[in-house]
Amino acid sequence: MSTSNDADGGYEFALSDAEWRERLSPEEYAILRQAATERAGTGELLEEWGDGFYSCRACGNELFKSGTKFQSHCGWPSFYESVRPDAVELVEDTTLGMTRTEVRCARCGSHLGHVFPDGFGTPTGDRFCMNSLALSFDPEADDAES
């Protein structure tokens, strides 16, 4: 578990707080830069089941493949693994009187959600529980249209 990067520096893609506020909507800023959580069951990507990739909404870093998404019934989009181990950073989170593992974008340090070891029935046993507002969905191009 890495804790070497802080929220504003040490990342490949770092902006000032003012630049983040200009770049993101107030809701996106609250989640991505202040580690807020969207209400369960409200995210626009919760029921997205198309083929493609999920990327960090703040910097565009590719994070998850659609084939790793699964229905966890937790109220947030869930994945059993990231697109590659270095796409995300895992950080111990002791807020709210409990210990959890926060998931951040490894490229810009933005808060994405948390990972839990309760992804029963998945190949990894993990449930990356992500905020929809922290992600962008990029559908795969249909080769038949080329």
pLDDT tens-digit series, residues 28-80: 999 999 999 999 999 999 999 999 999 999 999 999 999 999 999 999 999 99
Q: List the catalytic residue out of 56, 105, 108, 129.
A: 129
Q: Find the length of the chain.
A: 146
Per-residue CA distances from 39 to 46, 56, 76, 96 (Å): 12, 19, 9, 16
Measured between alpha carbons, how far is 126 from 42 in angstroms, rounded to an integer? 22
Phi, psi of 107 (to 5 degrees): -85, -40
Measured between alpha carbons, how far is 98 from 109 in angstroms, rounded to an integer? 22
> Residue 62 has what DSSP assignment?
E
Element (H, E) at 52: strand 52-56
Q: Which of 4-13, 83-92, 95-104 has the lowest mean pLDDT?
A: 4-13
Over 90: is that where the pLDDT of 117 sits?
Answer: yes
Active site residue 129: yes
Measured between alpha carbons, how far is 112 from 92 in angstroms, rounded to an integer? 14
What pLDDT, on the 0 to 100 scale, is given for residue 11?
85
The pTM for the full model equals 0.88
Over 60: is that where the pLDDT of 124 sits?
Answer: yes
* Mean pLDDT value across the chain: 91
